[in-house]
Amino acid sequence: MEPAAAASYCLYLFLALLFPLLLLKLINKRRRDGARARLPPGPWRLPVIGSLHHLVGKPLVHRAMADLARRLDAPLMYLKLGEVPVVVASSPDAAREILRAHDPTFATRPWTTTVKIMMADGYGPGFAPYGELWRQLRRISVSELLSARRVHSFRRVREDEAARLVAAVAVASRAREPVSVGGRVAAALADSTVRAMLGDRFERREEFLETIEEANRLGSGFNLSDLFPSSRVVNLVTATARRALANHLKNFELMECAIKQHEERRAAAGGRVLEEDGDLLDVLLRIQKEGGLNVPLTRGTIKGMISNY
């Protein structure tokens, strides 16, 4: 056989073998597409980053998403934020379907890489997966921690902190000193909240406030670790995971300190606490001691609940 004929024969043989493989791949792709759930419409996507380029440079992400949905006329819109698929509901009817008709399906908040680190040892009702524990924490919150009677019992705390705030502003005004209203209000709110939770001002309040601010920074907006959770390179390059772990350890250390401070103060007072005068931590420790719950209320869960509130 001549070289040219041999080359043609090899080429035809290769194509004959390749064609069934391509045909099989095409059939499998059609089967997968037919079995795949129908996705809502969305803007055009790029490789790797998906739909992120539609949101770059826009500080108010929710408005950017609303503009995209309006342009596409899509009350339900599909986006791909890095590796993370996202469905955006931007109409009252779509929101009603999610929040009412299918509430159990969407009750669990998404656990990003950052959230998993920060909630590793215990979580409150805000991030607990939907199930028996979530229902139990919600029931405790509604009937014990946030009931009208319990909120009314902290009226004296709120009035005391409001009076302290006004007095501090008055002193600074008489001295003609500038007043950081935001800082003063934040401190008053923190003291009111901590006194309601622990029964007294927390001796490490400044550290506590810094930890909360850092947690809010880590939990809001987008970061690469959450958008590309499977990428080891991203996790190595960015410091988000390390910051989240440090924040988690610091937060739970402060919560442990607050619980011990609370227990020492109660022990010094003889341990007598009237139910109507008890703070939120008293309630949680009492429920933990009495038991009778379907899911045990661990110390980590108590810390998570305090952190959430």
Q: What is the pLDDT of residues 285-302, one digit of tens each?
A: 888 888 777 777 888 888
What's the pLDDT at 302?
82
Q: Using DSSP, state whether 77 is helix, strand or coil.
A: strand
Higher-pLDDT residue of 26, 227: 227
What's the pLDDT at 77?
93
What's the pLDDT at 26?
56
| Helix H or strand E segment including 24 | helix 3-35
**100 neighbors 278 (Cβ within 8 angstroms):** no
The total of other beta-carbon atoms located within 10 Å of residue 153's CB is: 17
Backbone φ and ψ for 78, nearest 5 degrees, come out as -100, 130
Q: Map out the domains of the chain as residue ranges.
A: 33-106, 132-157+194-308
Provide the sign of the torsion angle of the four alpha carbons 273, 274, 275, 276, taken in this order: negative
Whether this model's pTM surpasses 0.85? no
What's the pLDDT at 24?
53
Between CA 163 and CA 177 the distance in angstroms is 19
Q: How many CA atoms lie within 13 A of 98 on its CB side?
A: 15
Give the chain's end-to-end CA distance (angstroms, integer): 85
Q: What is the mean pLDDT of the chain?
A: 79
Q: What is the pLDDT of residues 113-156, one digit of tens each?
A: 888 888 877 777 778 888 888 888 888 888 888 888 888 888 88
Between CA 80 and CA 46 the distance in angstroms is 9
Judge whether residue 29 has pLDDT over 60: no
| AA letter at 133 | L
